[in-house]
Amino acid sequence: MLRSFLLLLCLPFTLAAETVMDPARDRVIPVETHQPPNTDNCSTTALCPVALLSAGYGVSHTEYQFLVKTLNQAGYLVITVGHELATDPPLSVEGNLYETRAENWQRGADTLVFIRDYFKPKFTTFDFEHILLIGHSNGGDISAWLINHGAKFANHIITLDHRRVPLPRSLDVKVLSIRASDFPADKGVLPSRAEKQKYQDCVVTIANAKHNDMTDDGPSWLTEKIAQILAGHLAGKPCLENEKVKGQ
């Protein structure tokens, strides 16, 4: 936690923490908005990019500052979203998880739609029609679920070791999935070799990386490696041939 606080002190962007109310669902949603350090080039005729960041289950939406910093440096407005409330049912751990967790993913997808609609008129120089969805673990599942169920405003997804919901298979959606090494994804979640070639998807596995360490509280070598992969992807660099990259 101390490391996360120190990271926050060093970041060059504008931060606003708040809660917003979705009246249709009577749901309070914790969020943070992080503006990039330079918005001078953003205008209604030259919109700057937007990312909605979803945390892993049981992890605060404030625990991904290493991702926020990288996205901000690439010019993104980043909105981090807290999906889990104390009144929500626990995430299912039994049965067919694709079925039993659907209510959680749909609730999260509804939250992202609301957040997009809520903030769009507040940030008129940012592009809410071509959003990047990024999420760790269950946050990645929520992001994939939303795109798979027809969200037209998201054309880019980045997941950190999500394991349950299949990634979009579409030429219209850019895909990067950064994988840990300790747990496999469910069958069909990740694209096959042929699908990666067809859709130009990128899947990168970090050797020695652990699923639960992909937060600010993880080891610095891992957060730095993830940030490096993310920055390269955002800059348009070629995928690392979907091979394992060296970790620690």
For residue 13, the model assigns a pLDDT of 55
240 domain residue, yes or no: no
Residue 71, CB-side half-sphere exposure with 13 Å CA sphere = 26
Residue at 248 is within a domain: no
Q: What pTM was estimated for this model as a whole?
A: 0.92
* Tally of domains within the chain: 1
Q: What is the pLDDT of residue 2?
A: 45
Structure tokens at 232: 């390269």
The reported pLDDT for the residue numbered 7 is 47
Q: 241 in a domain, yes or no?
A: no
Q: Which of 40, 41, 31, 39 is nearest to 72 (CA)?
A: 39
CATH of the domain at 35: 3.40.50.1820
Q: Does residue 146 fall inside a structural domain?
A: yes
What is the average pLDDT score of the chain? 93
Mean of pLDDT values over 57-82: 98
Per the structure, the complete domain to which residue 83 belongs is given by 2-234
What pLDDT sits at residue 123? Answer: 98
Q: Is residue 246 part of a domain?
A: no
Q: Residue 60 phi/psi, 5° resolution?
A: -70, 150
Q: What is the pLDDT of residues 143-167, one digit of tens each?
A: 999 999 999 999 999 999 999 999 9
